[in-house]
Amino acid sequence: MITILFRIVEELLNLYRWVVILAVVFSLLHSFGVLDTRNRFVWTVGDFLYRLTEPFLRPIRRAIPSFGNIDISPIILLIIIWVLQMFLGRLYQAIAFGDVRALVL
């Protein structure tokens, strides 16, 4: 049962990582004029990605200094997701196999 929970959380983190990457690509394509947000489908996809990523990106943007037009908050969010995945893997190993040494960095 614990394995299923950890796998679900890990897959959700993987899925969210791809959502962040898609949001970055969408933002770049929109800013270079490749995508036209007057198209209803394009606008809906952009709004969906914005609503999924903005609650996690906004606190990161407030915490880091501004670099002008360069937004590094998605990179920081991807690093946070990666660290969470590593921690969950070690936590799973400690719980499932009783290996407490897995929690020590």
pLDDT for res 3? 86
pLDDT of residue 32: 93
pTM greater than 0.75: yes
Residue 16: which pLDDT band, with cuts at 50, 70 and 90?
very high
In sequence order, the 6+-apart residues with CB closer than 8 A to the CB of 10 are 85, 88, 89
User: Is the confidence at residue 83, as pLDDT, over 90?
Assistant: yes
Q: Which residues, at least 6 apart from 57, have a Cβ–Cβ distance to it below 8 Å?
A: 73, 74, 77
CB 77 within 8 A of CB 20: yes
Q: Please report which confidence band the pLDDT of residue 51 belongs to, taking 50, 70 and 90 as the band edges.
A: very high
